[in-house]
Amino acid sequence: MILYTPLAQHEIFPDDQEGFSNVEHIAYGGRMIYAARMKDGTYQVQQLVSTDPQDYLRAEFSPGSILS
C-alpha cells in the first residue's frame, strides 16, 4: 500500500487504537449510513453516504438522529 499524503505515519496509524469501534455501516431507507450502535441496540446516525444532495435535507438521515 502506498499512501500519498502529507500526514505522518503515526497520525494515520496511532499506537493506541481504541474507541469508534461501535460505528457500523448499515442500509436504511435505501441509503448507506455510518451509524453508531447505542447501548440499547438503536443506531445513531453519524454520516450519510449519498450523492443526492436532497437526502441530506431529510431529517431521518441527519447526524445524531436515532434510527429506531
64 binding other proteins? (CB under 8 A): no
Provide the β-strand partners of residue 48: 33
36 binding other proteins? (CB under 8 A): no
Q: Tell me the residue length of the chain.
A: 68
CB-based contacts of 64: which residues, under 8 Å, 6+ apart?
44, 45
49 binding other proteins? (CB under 8 A): yes
The contact set with other proteins (CB under 8 A) reads: 1-7, 9, 12-14, 17, 19-21, 23, 26-30, 32, 38, 40-43, 49, 51-55, 57-58, 60, 66-68
